[in-house]
């Protein structure tokens, strides 16, 4: 492990805005609950059962387990993994779109589980509010996305806030860290 392993959750945060991962870290160090907006809080609640290992009592179902991937130096938690069927599932409160960040989080979890000796044969997202499941190709079955995943990790490692400019005001308009952020380009009506 390097001195700065990357949190799996940061993969999605970084794609939203690179600066947000710094605020996310700060928020975790302070009081996680204080800085989480309603939608993120709901996202947390989507994991509540798995974090408490109560989603299923089946012994073959791993839930909320901490994982580490040495190949990419990533750490985090899986949501649920069915060891019998090899199905890795990440539940979200509501999947409005299959964002690349969601896919990359599954890739990271998949790689970590495989390093631990598990066989991952299927990955999927589950949208809890509308009870929809989205099958996601395994990393080896989607070379284009795998290249993007590797590039994202390189981008995170080489990112410097110096010289960063946010150009998408709609992101700032919906960003929970906006009041604290000197990079904000929030529009007055946003």
The end-to-end CA distance of the chain, in Å, is 41
Among 12, 20, 63, 109, binds ligand SF4 (CB under 6 A): 20
* CA-to-CA dists, residue 82 to 48, 113, 118, 139, 152, angstroms: 18, 11, 10, 18, 28
Candidates 14-22, 36-44, 119-127, 148-156 — which segment interacts with ligand SF4 by CB under 6 A? 14-22
* CA-to-CA dists, residue 118 to 83, 124, 136, angstroms: 7, 16, 18
Position 10 contacts ligand SF4 (CB under 6 A): no
Minimum distance from CB of 61 to ligand SF4 (Å)? 36
For residues 22-81, which are near ligand SF4 according to CB under 6 A? 23
| The token pair that represents 135 in the structure block | 């099958």
Position 99 contacts ligand SF4 (CB under 6 A): no
Q: Which H helix or E strand runs over 110?
A: helix 100-115
SS3 75: strand
For residues 123-142, which are near ligand SF4 according to CB under 6 A? none
Q: How far apart are CA 165 and CA 73, in angstroms?
A: 27
Candidates 47-55, 92-100, 150-158, 173-181 — which segment interacts with ligand SF4 by CB under 6 A? 173-181
Among 177, 188, 189, 190, binds ligand SF4 (CB under 6 A): 177
* Closer residue to ligand SF4 (CB): 86 or 101: 101
Position 15 contacts ligand SF4 (CB under 6 A): no
Position 8 contacts ligand SF4 (CB under 6 A): no
Burial class (CB in 10 A: 0-12, 13-18, 19+), 162: exposed
Q: How far apart are CA 122 and CA 138, in angstroms?
A: 7
Using CB under 6 A, list all residues that contact ligand SF4: 17, 19-20, 23, 166, 171-172, 175, 177-178, 181, 183-184
């Amino acid at each position: 492990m390097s001195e700065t392993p990357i949190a799996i959750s940061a993969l999605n945060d970084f794609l939203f805005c690179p600066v947000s991962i710094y605020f996310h870290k700060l928020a975790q160090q302070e009081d996680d609950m204080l800085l989480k907006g309603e939608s993120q809080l709901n996202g947390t609640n989507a994991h509540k059962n798995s974090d408490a290992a109560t989603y299923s009592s089946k012994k073959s179902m791993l839930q909320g387990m901490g994982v580490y991937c040495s190949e990419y130096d990533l750490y985090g938690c899986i949501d649920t993994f069915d060891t019998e069927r090899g199905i890795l599932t990440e539940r979200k409160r509501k999947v409005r779109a299959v964002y690349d960040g969601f896919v990359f989080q599954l890739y990271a979890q998949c790689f970590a589980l495989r390093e631990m000796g598990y066989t991952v044969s299927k990955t999927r997202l589950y949208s809890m509010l509308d009870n929809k499941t989205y099958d996601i190709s395994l990393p080896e079955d989607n070379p284009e996305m795998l290249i993007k995943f590797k590039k994202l990790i390189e981008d995170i490692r080489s990112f410097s806030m110096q010289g960063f400019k946010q150009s998408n005001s709609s992101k700032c308009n919906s960003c929970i860290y906006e009041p604290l952020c000197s990079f904000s380009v929030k529009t007055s009506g946003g």
